[in-house]
Amino acid sequence: MNWFQKFLMLCSGGNIHILKKAPSEWNKFAGIGGIVLFTAVFASLSAGYALFTVFDDYLAALAFGLLWGLMIFNLDRYIVSSIKKTGTWGNQILMTLPRLLLAGFLGIIISKPLELKIFEKEVNKQLNTIIQRNKSVLQKEMNGRILQQSGPFETEKKQITEKLANYQKSYDSASVELEKEILGKQSGLTSGKVGYGSNAKRKAELKAQRLQDLENFKKQSAPRLAYLDTQISKVYSNIETERNKTEKFEDRYNGFAARLQALDELGKNSEIIAIAAAFIMGLFITLEISPVLIKLISSVGPYDHLLEKTENDFRLYSKEKIAKGNAETDFRIEDFKEKLGK
């Protein structure tokens, strides 16, 4: 047994002292230990990449990846070592089933970050699509808020502008009628006489009055229009500032959960990617549950008999010590009672 083989046996959760007495079992346990070891390595890479997508920190990703890998290694090692080959086949199945479910769940957890890395280019492209889609939704929401917040100001400004246009129209109409009256153009509102007569004088007074009304309304409405323009400008400015901040946040929408969303959408949009992702997940689930399956389907070997004998010896030794201790206690109690009787 060389050092590497011994290390793999330790990874398998086997008892080295018992394995030394069963050389025929070395290859089996070394193989199981190798699978447990490589599963832990893949778990480290998976967790490291997942954490790097969150914090963009190599040291944090490395530290957490190693910690996660060690935890998965210890958990897998315990799962495999806890399976006993003694008892009926039905009991072994019942004992193995929850371990298989746990191992399968761990396989799914390990596979997802590695799927993201394998399809990284496709995921980045889909992320950009998601970002642009989110920006479009954001723009629609902002436009709705602009209409809602600036609506009252825009309505009042429109009313004032319409009134101003009516005053301007009245003045323009009076100017045209005055010109027609002076030139002698016949119409329903002019006399048809050339020159500046009494009718032209009245129309000139009407024009002056319309101009005065126009100037008065302009002067009266100017402060209010300036106020309304300021308020509308504030609404646009505030929402534009908020939109810019939100868009910057959207541009950084590339974390772990966002990548999972992109991968899920890729699977829905592309059957090939969905099949490839399913095969990758199946590969890691198989890798994770393979030590348990190997232990389950393998025949009972010398190691299992020696392990059962060792555990049984300890059980008998424990019972013997307990019985001996009880007997000594009973003897001391009887001896004490005899001394009290004397």
| Domain shared by 172 and 62, yes or no | no
Which residue segment(s) compose the domain that 261 sits in?
3-125+257-299
Q: Do 98 and 88 lie in a common domain?
A: yes
Flag whether 68 is in a domain: yes
* Residues 120, 264 within the same domain: yes
Sequence-distant (6+) residues with CB within 8 A of 317 are none
- What the block records as the tokens of 160 is 């004032």
Q: What is the DSSP string of 142-197?
A: HHHHHHHHHHHHHHHHHHHHHHHHHHHHHHHHHHHHHHHHHHT--BTTB----SS-
- Of 215, 247, 279, the one marking the end of a domain is 247
At 292, give phi and psi (nearest 5°).
-65, -45
Q: Are residues 94 and 162 in the same domain?
A: no
| Residues 154, 76 within the same domain | no
Give the CA radius of gyration of the chain: 45
Task: Check: CB of residue 24 under 8 Å from CB of residue 48.
Answer: no
Say yes or no: 121 and 261 in one domain: yes
Say whether both 15 and 104 belong to one domain. yes
Cα gap 283→277, rounded to integer Å: 10
Same domain as 312, residue 264: no
Same domain, 222 and 305: no
Tell me, yes or no, whether 9 and 116 share the same domain.
yes
DSSP label at 23?
G
Helix (H) or strand (E) segment spanning residue 45? helix 26-55
Is the residue at 90 inside a domain?
A: yes
pLDDT tens for the chain, 342 residues: list them.
Answer: 688 888 888 888 887 888 888 888 888 888 888 888 888 888 888 888 878 877 778 888 888 889 988 888 888 888 788 777 666 667 777 777 777 787 788 778 878 888 888 888 888 888 888 888 887 888 788 878 777 777 888 888 888 889 989 988 988 887 877 776 666 565 655 555 666 666 767 778 888 888 888 888 888 888 888 888 888 888 888 877 777 777 776 666 667 778 888 888 888 888 888 888 888 888 888 887 887 777 777 777 787 778 778 877 888 888 888 888 888 787 777 776 676 665
State which amino acid sits at residue 148: Q
Structural domains counted in the chain? 3
